[in-house]
Amino acid sequence: MPDLKIKISDLYKIFGSNGAAHIDKVRDGVGKTELLEKHGHVLGLQNINIDIFAGRIQVIMGLSGSGKSTLIRHINRLIEPTTGQIMIDGKDVLSMSASELLHFRRFDASMVFQKFALLPHRTVLANTTYGLSMQGIEQSEAEKRASHWLERVGLAGFEDRFPAQLSGGMQQRVGLARALATDADILLMDEAFSALDPLIRADMQGILLDLQSELHKTIVFITHDLDEALRIGDDIAILRDGNLVQQGSSQDIVLNPADDYVADFTKDINRARVLTLGTLSHQKPSVDGIALDSALTLEQAMNDLAASEKEAITVTKDGQMIGQVTMRDMIYAASRVKAGDGDTVTYR
Amino acid sequence: MALIDWSKITLTDPPQMPREVLRELKKGIDGTFREFSRGYGEAIENFFHPLLMFLKWFQDLLIETPWPLILVILGALSWWGSRSWKMVVGTVVAFLFIGWLDMWEDTMATLAIVSVATLLCIAIGIPIGILMARSDRVQAMILPVLDIMQTIPSFVYLIPVVMLLGIGKVPGLLAVMIYAVPPIVRLTNLGIRLVDKEVLEAADAFGSSYWQKLFQVQIPLALPNIFAGVNQTIMMALSMVVIAAMIGVPGLGVPVLRAVSNQYLALGVMNGLAIVAIAIIFDRVSQAFGKRLQKHREGEHGA
């Protein structure tokens, strides 16, 4: 297991004039609606416990109002919690002094925003150097680094434009370059791609995954889009009404939704594109089949199997045979059959 | 001593203070203020003395500078602000016309007081606006004061100003400033409050300190509004020229007053139009400058 980077424990946020006064009520089970109607306070987050590991992409998913943007803002303390603990590299963010917090924000965590939040009066280059100038890095050096990152996100040649002259996708590339330029270990992305149209969004996801395969940052990614979550998330946490309802890998979320809310989320996704052979494979009397890697998605595997004109797939991992999957298994899995409905579906 | 004269109340007369009580009250207030101005008038006057010296110096400077040089400076200023040859030509022609109609010296005096008043308004107004934007409490305290400053008839605050400082340039300048400072305060406050919350959040997220955020994000983004405030301040200062003349401020207001009391139509209209000409030039140039400040917004969707 990789190193623990961010550990959030027992985090509560109650919005209102005196949130702390109502914390015990919430602990005793007073719900969001009751808290609002009887006490005039809004429950933002309750009992959040989550471990985020170094070098991984942690997706936090939920519908609007579920508290996901609130949660990500606790990590760099743009929002103060009512109670709880956030340890980053063993240091408690919540007990940092004002100057420690500034240092933390300058060097250890950077952020990408839903509506880009670029400075409209500054050029693309000057926007990208913003975090660097906060770090006290000299102008010419900052511009050199900023140009490097602008090039990495595909914006070379746009340095002297103003944000208003760019399309949404390009503006968010500037936002990404600005965040990457500070070289912080932690990247907080608040619905960073939600404002973009689907093609551009897929494009940006690709850019992010490419960069991540090389940079290995700890990324906390907020989204309301399950497809996006499944595509980029190593780990996924699902929030509802300020509660964490499920945490796990994409396979877990799709195969074993914790409740109807999560099941609802997963209803419309293309399961064949998410599930992998490894998840489905099981021991069975050996049939002659083609050998495929366990990390392959069903979509690819079905294609390969159909082309091979054989009956089954021999699933391998690191060259070792670990089990088998038949076309029938895959069709059942992809078409959302519940446990027990099919005679060979044993994964649940 | 009763506070209401019960015997006087009828259906058409509301409850009233007894006459003698009211008279005493007014006398008391007047007396107290007179005491105050006797006691502190000189100290206050001394406090403003450097300002008076500066005003005198600046006015003399404008009057004694050769007129072609003034025209060049004004033309250059209007080019710097508007980047338009039409504006430059308009400015030069307007001032030549003013000179031709024998209003040069008064115009220079007016320019002096209006520019000093505007600079002081900016120097005082912008920090107050920033303070107001920072705290709702400060805003709630200052807004009513601004409302009073803008609505109270100028003659009313001329009384205490004259009692304290007599007549002359400094009280005139104060009167102009009381009237002209509210727009810049209001628009600075508004401009800073209108800065996009997400941009501020981004500044915070990257570790900006309060001052970094103020100078690198809030003020630059509020600048178009602040500049609209400067423009309004200039216009209001110009509109006070005649009233300022009543308490001894030299300039275009003086002949207007003379024209009013002697029924000199031509004199009044000419000087009035000179004020209008200056106002139009200042307004167009500063607006063009304000627009140029927003050039980076070009191509913005829906803007």
d(CA A130, CA A178): 7
Q: Which of A281-295, A315-329, B9-23, B47-61 has the lowest mean pLDDT?
A: A281-295
Residues of B in contact with A115 (CB under 8 A): 198
The reported pLDDT for the residue numbered A284 is 65
User: What string of pLDDT tens digits covers the 303 residues of chain B?
Assistant: 678 888 888 888 888 888 888 999 999 999 999 999 888 888 988 999 999 999 999 999 999 999 999 999 999 999 998 888 999 999 999 999 999 999 999 999 999 999 999 999 999 999 999 999 999 999 999 999 999 998 999 888 888 888 888 888 999 999 999 999 999 999 999 999 999 999 999 999 999 999 999 999 999 999 989 999 999 999 999 999 889 999 889 999 999 999 999 999 999 999 999 999 999 999 888 888 888 887 776 655 443
Does the CB of A121 have a partner CB in chain B at under 8 Å?
yes
**What is the residue extent of each domain of chain A?**
53-108+184-269, 272-334
Complex confidence, ipTM: 0.82
Q: Tell me what pLDDT residue A1 has.
A: 62
Instruction: Residue B106: name the closest of B288, B253, B302, B293 by CA.
Output: B253
* pLDDT tens figures, A138-192: 999 999 999 999 999 999 999 999 999 999 999 999 999 999 999 999 999 999 9
The answer to whether A127 and A152 are in contact (CB under 8 A) is: no
Residue B204 and residue B135: Cα distance in Å, rounded? Answer: 18
So what's the pLDDT on residue B295? 73
Which amino acid does the sequence have at A52? I
Q: Which residues from B are below 8 Å from A104, CB to CB?
A: 207
Query: What is the phi-psi region of residue A218: left when phi exceeds 0, alpha when psi lies from -120 to 50, beta otherwise?
Result: beta
pLDDT category at A336 given cuts 50, 70, 90 is: low
Mean pLDDT on A324-342: 70
As assigned by CATH, the class of the A272-334 domain is: alpha beta
Residue B184 is predicted with a pLDDT of 96
Provide the shortest C-alpha distance from residue B174 to chain A (in Å).
Answer: 36
Question: Tokens 């009066």 identify what position?
Answer: A121
Region A53-108+184-269: CATH code: 3.40.50.300
Cβ atoms of residues B129 and B185 within 8 Å: yes
- Residue range A17-34: average pLDDT? 83
Give the integer Cα–Cα distance in Å for A295 and A275. Answer: 9
Q: Under an 8 A CB cutoff, do A105 and B207 touch?
A: yes
Which of A221-235, A306-320, B91-105 shows the lowest mean pLDDT across its residues?
A: A306-320
- For B8, what's the count of Cα atoms within 13 Å in the CB-facing half-sphere? 11
* Residue in B199, B216, B300 nearest the CB of A117: B199
What's the pLDDT band for A30 if we cut at 50, 70, 90? confident
pLDDT of A105 reads 94
Q: By the CB < 8 Å criterion, does A164 face chain B? A: yes
| pLDDT value for A283 | 72
Does B204 touch chain A if contact means CB atoms closer than 8 Å? yes
pLDDT reported for residue B188: 96
| Chain A contact present for B19, CB below 8 A | no
> B206, B208, B214, B215: which to substitute to probe chain A, counting the most A Cβ within 10 Å?
B206
Average pLDDT, chain A: 87
Tell which residue, A324, A316, A327, A322, has the closest CA to residue A286. Answer: A324
Contact across the interface for B206 and A134, Cβ inside 8 Å: yes
From A106, A107, A162, residue closest to B296, measured CB to CB: A162
Report the residue from B198, B296, B301 with minimal CB separation from A113.
B198
d(C-alpha A118, C-alpha A129), whole Å: 11
Contact assessment for residue B246 and residue B158, using Cβ atoms and an 8 Å cutoff: yes
**B62 vs A342, which has greater pLDDT?**
B62
How are the residues of chain A apportioned to helix, strand and coil, as percentages rounded to the nearest 5?
A: 40, 25, 35
Indicate whether A260 pLDDT > 60. yes
Do B202 and A162 count as a contact with CB atoms less than 8 A apart?
Answer: no
Percent of chain A at pLDDT above 90?
50
Nearest-neighbour CA in chain A from B198: distance (Å): 5
All residues of chain B having their beta carbon less than 8 Å from the beta carbon of residue A109 are 205
Other C-beta atoms lying within 10 Å of the C-beta of residue B3: 9
What does the block give as tokens for B211? 């001052």
Name which of B17, B87, B66, B85 is nearest B281 in CA terms.
B87
pLDDT exceeds 50 at position A136: yes
Tell me whether residues B201 and A115 touch, CB distance under 8 A: no
pLDDT at residue B231 in the model = 92
Confidence check: pLDDT of A268 > 80: no
Region A28-48: mean pLDDT is 85
Q: What is the pLDDT of residues A62-95, one digit of tens each?
A: 888 888 999 999 999 999 999 999 999 988 999 9
* Whole-number Å distance between alpha carbons of A175 and A182: 12
pLDDT score for B69: 95
CATH code of the domain occupying B48-295: 1.10.3720.10
Task: Name which of B198, B199, B297 is nearest A164 (Cβ-Cβ).
Answer: B297
Query: With bands split at pLDDT 50, 70 and 90, how would you rate the model's confidence at A286?
Result: low
Residues 230-249 of A with CB under 8 A from B: none
- Give me the pLDDT at residue A323, please: 83
Residue A134 has pLDDT above 50, yes or no: yes
pLDDT of residue A341: 43
**Which residue among A122, A130, A162 sits closest to B206, beta carbon to beta carbon?**
A130
